[in-house]
Structure 1
Amino acid sequence: MADSRDEPSRQEDLDWLYRRAPGDGAAGAPRAAPATNIANDADIRRRERAFLEQRRRRQAAQQDRRGGPERDLRAGAQPAAPAPRAPGADWAHREPVAPVAPAPGRRRHGPDGRIRRSPVRRTLRAVLVPVLAWLLFTLVTPIHAWSAMTTIGWEPSYAGRVGNQPGTAILLVGSDSRDGLSEEERNELGTGEAEGQRTDSIMLLYTPPSGESVLISIPRDSYVTVPGYGRTKINAAYSYGGAELLTETVEQATGLRIDGFMEVGFAGFADIVDAVGGVDVCLDEPMADEKANIDLPAGCQTLNGSDALGYVRHRYGDAEGDLGRARRQREVIAQIATRLKRPSTVLNPVRWWTVTHALAGAVSRGDGMGVLTMAQMTRGVLSVSGGSGASLQVPLETTNGWSDDGTESVVIWDSERASAMFEDLSRGDTSNIAQYAG
C-alpha cells in the first residue's frame, strides 16, 4: 500500500532513523550510506521497533490535535489526510536509542556469523574432560577387578559368634596348596609335591574408624584351640575345615569378629609381584634355602615373582625361624602396596588396568565382601605401607614351646599382652599399639 504521508514527513522519518541532520542532501540526490553503530541483527530489530513506536505516537498526537479522527470516524466522517509538516518540526524532541549490549554470558557471533567461544572456556573444557574421564576410569577399574575375583565361602555360623567391633578386620591368608599347578610351575616355584592345603601365612589387617591401621602376623605354628579338634597348630585349622574353620579359630583366639577374607596361593603371589614390577630387598648376608627354592646373594636387589616367593617362604637357616618369615611377608606386602600407588602405575591407564586385574586373577576373596569392605582394606594396607600404620606380630611368650603331648614344637602366645592388644582393637583403639611390638 502506498504511503499516504507527504514527502517532507517521510524524509524527516528517514533522517531520524539514520541519524542525519534535517535537510542534509538535496531531494532526490543520492545519499551517502548512513554511518551506524548497529552491532547485530537484534539491535537493528530493536531500532525498527523503537522507530515504529515513535511514529505511532506522533501520528496519534497529530490526530488528537486535529480534533480526534476516531470520534469523526464513529460519526461517519472520512479520516482526514495528515497535514503536511515542515521538515525537522519535532526533530529536537526525539531521543536517540542507545545500542543494546550483549547479555552477560551469551555467545557472540564473529564477523563470519559463527559463534565465538571464550578461550578460557575452551581451555577449561580441554583440561577438565580428560581429567574427569581419567578419575572415572581410575575408580571403576579396581571395582571391576574386584567383581571379577574368584570367591570362596569363609564366614562361620557357630553359636555365640563374636559380635561386631568398630572398624574392619580382614583375615589375609597365604595358602600352600599346590592344586592347579603344573609340574613345570611346581619346579619353577619350588613348591614341592606336598598334598593337602595349609596356611603358609596368616595375617590380620585391622582398620579402625580413625587412627592408624595395624597389620598383625599370626605365626602359623601358634598353639591355639581349633574348635572340634582341641589344641593344635593354627595352620591345621585350614586343612581340617577350610576358610570357615580357620576364621572361627582366629575369632575365638582373638575375640575379634572377622569382616572379610582374602587368600592367595603360591602362583598367585608370584604373579602379583611380577605384575607390580618386582620387590626390592637388601640382604646383609646370602640367603640359601633349598626347601624354599631360594639362593640369593648379599646386597640390595630386585626380586621377581618366583624369587620373592622363596624370600617370604624361607625359614630354615633363619635365626628367627617362622618369625623372620612373618616379618618378610609383611615387608613384601607393604612393598606391593607402595608400588601399586606409584604415579607411574595409577596415571597410566593401561598399566593400571593390567595390574589391578592381575591382582584380581591371583587373589580369592570371601563370598559376600562388598566394595566398602574393599575400600577399608585398601585404606588399611596403604596406611601400613606408607608408614602411618603399624606392622607387628602377636606378642609371644616363646617360639620354642611344645604341644601338650610333647610331640610338636609350637609357638606360645604371651596370653596377657595378646589379650590386652586384642581388647584395645575390639574398642577401635590403636593408639597404644606400638607397645605390643617386639
Structure 2
Amino acid sequence: MNELIRQAINAEAEERVDSRTVLANLHKAKKRKPLGLIVGVATLTAAAAAAAVIIPTAIKKTEAAPPAAQATQEAQNVLLIGLDDYDHTDALMLARFRADGAAMIVSLPRDILVDGQKINSLFAQDPGKLTAAVEKTTGTKVDHYAAVKMSAFGQVSQLLGGVEVCLKAPSNDPITKVSFPAGRQVLQGDQALAFLRQRHGLENGDLDRARRQQMFLVGLASQITKDKALALARGVSGSISVDDGWDVLGFAQRFTGPVGISVTTLPVDAPVERETGFGYEVDPAKARSFVAKALDEGDHSGEGGCVR
C-alpha cells in the first residue's frame, strides 16, 4: 500500500504514471491507510488542530477515472480530532462535509462532561468511546473520524508560508511564556503551534482557544490549493490517522480546491467541579437542537474579525 501511495504522489508530481491505473489499484487494496489527503485541521485546537482540513487530493484526477474512484455524493459527518503526545484530545470538531466539499463545523469544547467523564480522555481509551460520546451529546451519527497530532500544525503552517490571525488584544501565556501582540499577524512553525495550544491567560480559557482554532482553520483552508497539497501530503501524512472503514480516496475526490467552511461552537453551561476535575455540563436537548441547525444551515459567526 505504501508503494501505491508513493506511486500516486509521483504521478501527480512528475506525471509519469497513468493516474487512472493508480486509482484503480488503490481501490483494490484491502486495507486503506491515511494517504495524506486529509491534512487534519483535525480539530485545529490546542493539541491537534481544530478540525481536519481536506487537501484537494495528491492524486491526479481525470474525467476518465474509474467509476469506483468517483466522489461519493452523500454528505458525511466526520469527527475531527486534535491529539497531544499522549493521545488526549485537545481539539474536537464535528464536521458535515457536503457533496460539493463545503464543511459545516461545530467545535466541541474538550472539557465537556459525558456521564461524569471529560470527553478529552476518551480517544486514548478507545476511539469508539469518543465517537459514542459525541453521538450521545449531539444526537448526530458520526460516519468517520480523522485524528492528527497537534505537533503537525507547526509544519503545516510553515509549508504554507504562515497563516494570518487577528487578536483583539495582546495575550501572554503564563505557562509557556509565549506572547502575541494585538492585531493581524502571520504565524508559522512553533509560533503557530503555541497560538493554537494557548488557553492559560485567556479570559474564557479553552472556549477562547476554540475560537482561535476556528480562525486558524478558516485561514489555513483558504490557502490549500492543488499545487500546495502535494507538499503537505508528503510532509504530514505520517501524523494523521483515520478509521479503517473509511474510503478516504473516494471521499477526498469531491474536493477540487479550497473549501467553504462555516464554524461555530457548542454552547455549554457554567463550569462545574467534579471528582474527575473541572468540566462543562451540556443540556442534551439544547445541544442536539443547536448541532442539527448548525450542520444543516451553517453558522459563519466564526469567520472574520479578531478573537481574544
Contact 1:293 1:310 survives alignment (8 Å)? no
Over the aligned positions, Cα root-mean-square deviation in angstroms equals: 3.8
Matches for 1:317-356 after TM superposition, within 5 Å? 317-341=201-225, 346=226, 348=227, 351-356=228-233
How far off is 1:306 after superposition?
0.8
Corresponding residue number in structure 2 for 1:283 = 167
After superposition, the Cα gap between the structure-2 partners of 1:266 and 1:235, relative to the gap in structure 1 and judged at 3 Å, is same
Separation of aligned partners in 1, 2:92 and 2:80: 6
Match of 1:417 among 274, 283, 286: 286
Provide the TM-score with structure 1 as the length reference: 0.49
Conservation of the 8 A alpha-carbon contact between 2:112 and 2:119: yes
Query: Hey, what does 1:203 align to over in structure 2?
Result: 93
- The answer to whether the 8 A contact 1:171-1:261 is kept is yes
1:182-193 counterparts in 2 under 5 A? none
Q: Distance in 2 between matches of 1:222 and 1:436?
A: 21
CA, structure 1 residues 361+211, in 2 after alignment: closer, same or farther (shift >3 Å)? closer
1:172 aligned residue? 80
Alpha-carbon distance in structure 1 between the residues aligned to 2:253 and 2:143? 13
2:122 maps to which of 214, 226, 237: 237
Establish whether residue 358 from structure 1 lines up as the match of residue 227 from structure 2. Answer: no
> 1:269 touches 1:362 (CA, 8 Å); kept in 2?
no
Deviation at 1:208, TM superposition (A): 4.0
Deviation sequence 1:285-313 (CA, Å, 0-9, x none)? 32221434522233322111211111111
Contact 1:170 1:258 in 2 (8 A): yes
Q: Which amino acid aligns with 1:421?
A: F
Q: Where do residues 49-64 of structure 1 align in structure 2 (5 Å cutoff)?
A: none
- Distance in 2 (CA, whole Å) between partners of 1:252 and 1:311 is 31
Structure 1 unaligned segments of length 5 or more: list them.
1-132, 152-165, 178-195, 226-230, 385-389
CA distance in 1, matches of 2:112, 2:98: 25
What CA distance in whole angstroms lies between the structure 2 residues aligned with 1:203 and 1:221?
13
Q: Secondary structure at the match of 2:109?
A: coil
| 1:299 maps to which of 160, 164, 183 | 183
Query: SS of the counterpart of 2:260?
Result: helix
Aligned partner of 1:232: which letter?
Answer: Q
- Summarize the Cα distance change of 1:168–1:281 in structure 2 as closer, same or farther, 3 Å threshold: same
CA contact (8 A) 2:153 2:193 kept: yes
CA contact (8 A) 1:212 1:430 kept: no
Q: 1:375 to 1:330 in 2, by over 3 A?
A: farther
Match of 1:267 in 2: 151
Please name the residue that 1:373 is paired with: 251
Instruction: Write the mapping of 1:395-410 to structure 2, written as runs, cut at 5 A.
Output: 395-398=267-270, 400-403=271-274, 405=275, 408-410=277-279
What's the offset of the Cα at 1:411? 1.3
Q: How many residue pairs get matched?
A: 247
Show the 5 A alignment for 1:98-177: 148-149=35-36, 167-177=75-85
Q: CA deviation at 1:172?
A: 0.8
* Deviation of the 1:217 alpha carbon: 0.5
Distance in 2, Cα, partners of 1:213 & 1:380: 13
Note closer, same or farther for the CA distance 1:277–1:167 as it changes in structure 2 (3 Å cut): same
**After superposition, what is the alpha-carbon deviation per residue over 1:349-391, rounded to whole angstroms, capped at 9, x for unaligned?**
xx54223322423322222321222345x5897110xxxxx21
Matched residue type, 2:135: E
CA contact (8 A) 1:205 1:380 kept: no
- Who is 2:137 aligned against? 253
Shift in Å, 1:212 = 6.1
- 2:272 alignment partner AA: G
Is the CA contact 1:214–1:380 (under 8 Å) kept in the aligned structure 2? no
- Which digits, 9 at most, give the CA deviation of each residue in 1:225-268, with x for residues without a partner? 3xxxxx211112123x2322212221222222222211111321
Contact in 2 for aligned 1:262/1:363 (Cα 8 Å): yes
Over 3 Å counting, the alpha-carbon distance change for 1:424 and 1:211 in structure 2 is farther
Q: Does 1:219 align with 2:84?
A: no
Shift of 1:436: 9.8
Q: Which has the higher helix share?
A: 1
Q: For residues 232 and 357 of structure 1, do their structure 2 counterparts lie closer, same or farther at Cα, with a shift above 3 Å needed?
A: same
- The 3 A distance-change label for structure 1 pair 367 and 290 is farther
Aligned 1:74-93 pairs, distance under 5 A: none
Measure, in 2, the Cα distance between the counterparts of 1:379 and 1:421.
30
1: distance between equivalents of 2:100 and 2:220? 24
Q: Which has the higher contact order (CA 8 A, sep 6+)?
A: 2
The one-letter code sitting in structure 1 at the alignment partner of 2:259 is L
Q: CA deviation at 1:331?
A: 1.4
Kept in 1: contact 2:34–2:241 (CA 8 A) = no
